[in-house]
A and B are shown apart, each in its own frame.
Chain A
Amino acid sequence: MKRHAALALACAAAIVWSAAHGQAQPPVFKTGALTVSVNAAVKRGNRVIANLTAKDFRLTDNGVEQKIEAVSIESVPVDVSLFLDTSGSTAGKLDDMKRDVQGIVKMLRPGDRFRLLTIGDSVDEPVHWVPAGTAVNLSFGAVGGISLVHDALVLALMHRPEADRRHLVVGMTDRRDCGSVVSSAQLRELAARSEAVLHLVDQSGSGGDVAYRIRTCSPRGRVDGPDIIADAAARTGGMLHDPSYFFGSSVLRAFRTIFEEFRQSYVLRYSPSGVARGGWHAIVVQVPSTSGVTIRARHGYFD
């Protein structure tokens, strides 16, 4: 027993010494209760299902049912990142897009914030975070050839809103990437871990005259890239929208629908129990009490 005590003392002394001299990396422990928030949009057809309570939901974390502590239709402010694909392939809609951006800014509510991302030779941010109602000056143009869709979406997703805010990313794009640093596979993985909800409005077939065609892309593309991008949106709890649904592919109409649905989505909060910490946690959300509904929620999170 004495030998064990001496060994423990020696170890303790060694830990204190090494900590004091900075010669060893301190071990990292995950402490404290983890609270997970999950956006869940519940609809029957195109109609949002309202008035659900915690008892109506069933949520599993890595297959283990969790106790939902709070359910709310959030009235908290929203950070909106709008990405307009201003590459040559969508240049035909540029004027419409600019007009609609002004409408989008007007649509936001007090407390919301907005920023705009576009594609040039790099991913540009012609409008940095501005409060709702701010008049924005739009002077961007189309750039032919290069089309940094992955990079733009990653930049959009890599924003951590303050604790009492939510983050909605809406991308208006034909999903045809050309020249991004981030691969489509990386984007999909990254979206799965993102705290934002990503919606895409398909802008395929909206190409037009491009004034500047001297640019082009790098040789690393994937034929299934567009599908992977759509899958990335699904992993955040968002989806790819068919523009014909919005009667004339108006950005404004598309955004209004997405934004309203996002604001009316439920936020489920729970503290994981009965599951091992660390790694990927697959989430499944169901509403057993109501039949015929569709639920969109993030597919999981990394602890």
Chain B
Amino acid sequence: MACQQPGGIIHRLKRRPVFMRISVAGPRAAAIGILLLSTLTDFEPAAIAQVRRLEVAAALDAYAQGRYDEALAPVRYLSRDASRDFRQQLVLRGVQWVDAPAADRPRRVLAAAAFALEFERMRAERGEWQAGGEQDCAGRCVIEWACTLLQSRGAADDAEHVWMLASMALAHGARDWSFLQTPIAAPSDRTVQTGHVHHALARFPDDPRFRLARAIALASRNAVTDERDAPRAGDRAMPTPTGAIVIGPDFLNSMMQRNRTRLGDYVRQELESLTADESVGSEARVRLGYLHWVRGDEHDALVVEAAAADAAKEPDVRYVANFLAAQAAQALGDLSAAETRYRAALSARPYSQSATLGLAALLYLRGEAREAYEIVAAAQSNLPRDDDPWRMFLYGDFPKLPALVAELRKRVTP
């Protein structure tokens, strides 16, 4: 499977919506299309000036030679319009740059794809993963362009694997689940499953990391639970007349609930099948417990997270598993078990704030104010410099992105 969605990628430009279909002929066709497109699109003078200052070829040269800061520093200062125009230039001139000395093409393709990924990472952190909602595809289009480019190198290799992992991590950070997997629903005979994670799985069949990334996308917020969307009790007051077929909120809610249940069950099976895998098993267990937790299955959540915590070797995984076990135990009213699990989490990651607060609130409400005060004060004085693993847990592989980018750079300039 190529990196485009079925039927090709649709680029939509903000000021003048123009639809362009990129055929499976590859990036050359894309470049020609965008060249035509750029002649139709009126650039803002200021944006042109900024793009000129940030020459695509010069940036790619610097990046390919390992001068990463020089290549990427100007990206930070691009305006929103300028970055959109730079994306066009990247896709247009990037292809020419890649082909300049044919002998070095595979490495230059990797450099261009890695640069595109780092560019979109920086723009995503400025809120431009999806620049203008439906009308602009921004980050996801560039990533798909780079994905196609990368595949033109030939057989899948280790460098492509790292790039795919990094692009998943970026999409997790942007929480663009539909980019990774469309539709966000359990597979059925009537739907075609597509999305970036399927491109990765086509290149690396059954890769457990990509399967887990897909499960994370499917288990995204609101996809498997309607807790936030649930109508208030009063909203359901209107009775349905006997014998009438009414397509109303109740009908739609029940249909959505059924779909969520089916999806949740499917994700559970996927995660269960990954728990035995050596590379992703421990994380899959924690995510399985989390799935139970968000679905309101506190008992199963506690059992799974407790087992995950006891088996985990990595401190961060042990922390999150114990933290979630504590939350589940608390919801079940077992405050003693909750306290034990909070303390276990803090022994894996001392002073981390989420477990500190959970434990302190529990102790305080149980009347043990003195210790609650003490542990909060100690944690505030010794707050770890790195991110709280629980806070990062909700962003899937995003916390791995810096390490993956570092790996990618090693392959660009060995």
How many residues belonging to B are interface residues under a CB distance threshold of 8 Å? 41
B249 on the A face (CB < 8 A): no
Q: Please indicate the chain A residues that have their CB under 8 angstroms from the CB of B388 in the complex.
A: 121-122
Complex: how many Å from CA A145 to CA B126?
13
| CB nearest neighbor in B for A209 | B127
Q: Assess A219 versus B126: contact at CB under 8 Å? Given A121-B388, A182-B361, A193-B364.
A: no
Contact yes or no, B354 A181, CB < 8 A = yes
Contact yes or no, A216 B373, CB < 8 A = no
Contact yes or no, B391 A186, CB < 8 A = no
Most B CB contacts (10 A, CB to CB) among A155, A217, A221, A302 go to A155
Mark interface residues in B225-236 (1 if CB within 8 Å of A CB, else 0): 101100010000
B239 to chain A, nearest CB (A): 23
B330 to chain A, nearest CB (A): 9
Q: Please indicate the chain B residues that have their CB under 8 angstroms from the CB of A186 in the complex.
A: 361, 365
Instruction: Tell me the interface secondary structure of chain B in the complex.
Output: helix
Q: Assess A154 versus B357: contact at CB under 8 Å? Given A160-B373, A219-B228.
A: yes
A215 to chain B, nearest CB (A): 8
A99 on the B face (CB < 8 A): no
B360 on the A face (CB < 8 A): yes
Contact yes or no, A158 B373, CB < 8 A = yes
| CB nearest neighbor in A for B224 | A219
Complex: how many Å from CA A285 to CA B175?
51
Q: Please indicate the chain B residues that have their CB under 8 angstroms from the CB of A214 in the complex.
A: 124-125, 127, 129, 173-175, 395, 398
Complex: how many Å from CA A144 to CA B124?
12
Q: Please indicate the chain B residues that have their CB under 8 angstroms from the CB of A300 in the complex.
A: none
Which residue in A144, A182, A219, A223 is a CB contact (below 8 Å) of B232?
Answer: A223
Instruction: Tell me the interface secondary structure of chain A in the complex.
Output: loop
B315 to chain A, nearest CB (A): 17
A125 on the B face (CB < 8 A): yes
Complex: how many Å from CA A212 to CA B355?
25
Contact yes or no, A158 B360, CB < 8 A = yes
Q: Assess A122 versus B353: contact at CB under 8 Å? Given A181-B358, A193-B365, A216-B221.
A: yes
Contact yes or no, B357 A151, CB < 8 A = yes
Q: Please indicate the chain A residues that have their CB under 8 angstroms from the CB of B335 in the complex.
A: none
Q: Please indicate the chain A residues that have their CB under 8 angstroms from the CB of B395 in the complex.
A: 214-215
Mark interface residues in B254-267 (1 if CB within 8 Å of A CB, else 0): 00000000000000
Contact yes or no, B225 A219, CB < 8 A = yes
Mark interface residues in A213-240 (1 if CB within 8 Å of B CB, else 0): 1111111110100000000000000000
Which residue in A144, A212, A221 is a CB contact (below 8 Å) of B228?
Answer: A221
> Can you name 15 extra interface pairs (CB under 8 A) apart from A122-B354, A122-B383?
A121-B387, A151-B357, A154-B361, A158-B364, A158-B376, A160-B373, A181-B354, A182-B361, A186-B361, A190-B364, A193-B369, A212-B125, A212-B126, A214-B398, A218-B221
List the 8 closest pairs (A to B, CB-CB), nearest first.
Answer: A213-B127, A158-B376, A122-B353, A181-B357, A160-B373, A181-B354, A181-B358, A219-B221
